[in-house]
Amino acid sequence: MWVRTVYKVMTMVVITLILSYFGGCLFYIFSQYGNSAEDIARNNTFITIKTNKRWISLEEETHTTTKAITMTYFMLTTMTAIGYGDLMPISDNEKIVGIILFLLGHVFVIYVLSTFRSILDDIEKISAFNMKRKSMEADEIAL
């Protein structure tokens, strides 16, 4: 039972990370290619972000790992409605895509929460069954 429960939880964690990664990549690709030329010229895109009171460009970042982590982080905070405010859509086109990803992310978060609830229900049923079995064994010993 516990193996199955741990497997379900780990599966949900992995699926969440994979969907966050691909959602972040989709948003990054859209930010890179879906903005107007004037937004790109004015650095009015998600690709240029403010960190620690200085602007950095994800385009100039040499490590794709950093881009992947940043985009996964952005999607996780967007899907869960945490939204720290350090990364956000800037242009109107990015905001529209952000809203769509936010809504789709919420649907997925609801699915994850319902799956965790069913896991907790299974654990509760097994605990109740074990308690009933122990009670019956104790009654048999008393007889």
Size (the chain), residues: 143
pLDDT in tens, 41-96: 777 777 665 555 555 566 665 577 877 888 888 899 888 888 887 788 888 888 89
As a whole number of angstroms, the distance between CA 74 and CA 47 comes to: 12
Q: Does domain 2-108 bear CATH number 1.10.260?
A: no
Structural domain boundaries in the chain: 2-108
As a whole number of angstroms, the distance between CA 141 and CA 88 comes to: 65
pTM of structure: 0.73
With a cut of 70, say whether residue 143 has pLDDT above it: no
CB contact at 8 A, 69 and 59: no
CA distances to 87, 99, 136 from 92, in Å: 15, 11, 66
Residue type, 59: E
* Cα–Cα–Cα angle for 88, 66, 64, rounded to 5 degrees: 115
pLDDT in tens, 94-116: 889 889 989 998 999 899 889 88
